Amino acid sequence: MIQLIRGFKDVLPGEVELWQMVEKTAAGLFDGFGFKEIRVPLMERTELFARSIGEGTDIVEKEMYTFADRKGEMITLRPEATASVVRAYIQHKLYAAEPVRKFYTIGPMFRRERPQKGRYRQFYQINAEVFGVAAPAMDAQLIYMLVTLLKALSVPDIHVHLNSLGCPDCRPGYKAALEAYAEKAMAALCEDCRRRKSQNALRLLDCKVPGCRDAMADAPSLQDYLCNECKLHFSEVKAHLQQVGISYLIDKRLVRGLDYYTRTTFEIQTGALGAQNAVAGGGRYDGLVAALGGPDTPAIGFAIGFDRLTETTALRNQALETPPDVFIVALGDECRQRAFLWSCELSRSGIRTEMDFSGRSLKALMKRANRLQSRYVLIFGESELENKMVLLRDMSNSEQFEIRMDGIVAEVSRKLQRD
Ligand code: HAM
């Protein structure tokens, strides 16, 4: 038997209802904050991700599904959505009529990481991206929207981790200080960190190897190197968060795994996830639109790990799968033929209808209706046909009603809508 690819998964009925509910809740909330849905392709030119996420990142260095198509063009299954949304914003000049644009997009991403609980090679994200707003109030509002959604979806034990990564004016000074610090700690660093020291020193801060974490524990903090504008921006973000009652933790190690960030970065962690504890992450990327050929445009966004959200929400224990409203038990060829039409019409009118076409006995069909937990059963056999009546059985209390065969669809619809 051919099995799933490692790190990929199926979302089956029983769980998919939770996914639909999450999507609906997110879309409803985002709408209130002025976000419009955008859908971007699953594949892009490799160069788009290499240039935006950064050549020296784990994602671009080791995790992308990249291949040459039949004409030799290098393409990549998207490891994230931000780069594609930025490309679309530039390509379709979405800034032309109104520079402030807010988008959300939901869909699968692909990263060839080592699979474990909460980490998959195809995973899903809910992304929100804002273009054209430089004000720190936007950062706070976006985090407020994100936390509101996670709370509405009963994700337990959430903590907002916050940092500022500075800007092209102040970050080089910090990087130099960090490199100098790392130079002294060199002997204790892992091979990846040694290599990255001069390529992208910020990466040294989020290496998960315990030896590196210890060696970098007293590394200089970016907070001490921020320029006045970045400092002011960060303090206003914090003030706005306090104003809307969002508590946060300043996390100087929070450098994120993508190179495009400037200033505010954040992650939402939950105690309910184990090692893969980030349920969402994001930040400002004020330079990316211009770097990819668009006008100079500030931007900020986040992505929620959909899989991680559904694995932690308290709602996952609720039964969301809906049973049929009515199960049709028709006995004998003629009854089955007539009831077939009713089943089509009832379904079309939005009543969850199930009919068994197999010709099995009354007992067997009633057993199936019970197993499916149908609210009502329509019973239609030879004696009912003779009397031009159909039996409607309420499965909650075993009460039965006779309904005239003519106009049965309208009658059953009326009865179910009244309940
Ligand atoms: P990211 O931190 O790489 O950011 O991913 C965001 C979230 O996606 C993570 O916090 C995690 O919940 C989930 N995630 C990432 N990798 C996996 C995986 N292998 N399996 C399961 N879940 C995963 C970004 O992708 C940025 N594009 C976020 C952003 C949007 N920044 C600005 N706008």
Confirm if 412 and 378 have CB atoms less than 8 A apart: yes
Q: What angle do CA 299, 305, 307 make, to 5 degrees?
A: 160
- CB distance 204 to 196 below 8 Å: yes
Tally of CB atoms within 10 A around 91: 11
Residue 135: CB atoms within 10 A of its CB come to 13
Lowest mean pLDDT among 263-267, 291-295, 317-321: 317-321
Q: Where are the beta strands (DSSP E) in 71-228?
A: 74-77, 101-110, 122-131, 158-164
Strand partners of residue 391: 379, 402
Q: Which of 175, 216, 164 is nearest to 199 (CA)?
A: 175
The preferred substitution site among 125, 131, 150, 309 for testing ligand 1, maximizing ligand atoms within 8 Å of CB, is: 125
- Which of 395 and 198 is assigned the larger pLDDT? 395
Q: Atom 11 in ligand 1: which residue has the minimum CA distance?
A: 305
Q: Are 270 and 158 in contact (CB under 8 A)?
A: yes
Q: Which atom of ligand 1 is nearest to the CA of 82?
A: 27
Cα pseudo-dihedral 310, 18, 316, 323, rounded to 10: -160
| Residue in the structure block whose two tokens are 């699953």 | 42
The residue ranking higher by pLDDT, 120 or 416, is 120
Name residue 54's amino acid.
G
Kindly state the tokens that stand for 271: 């105690």
Amino acid, res. 49: F
For 269-303, write each residue's pLDDT tens digit.
998 887 778 999 999 999 999 999 999 999 999 99
111 lines ligand 1 (CB under 6 A): yes
For residues 172-184, give the mean pLDDT.
90
What distance in angstroms lies between residue 379's CA and the mean position of ligand 1's atoms? 52
Q: Residue 133 C-alpha to ligand 1 middle, in angstroms?
A: 22
Q: In the numeric block, which tokens belong to residue 392?
A: 């409607």
Question: In this predicted structure, what is the pLDDT of residue 56?
Answer: 83
- Residue pair 229/222 in contact (Cβ under 8 Å)? The answer is no
Ligand 1 centroid to 105 CA: how many Å? 13
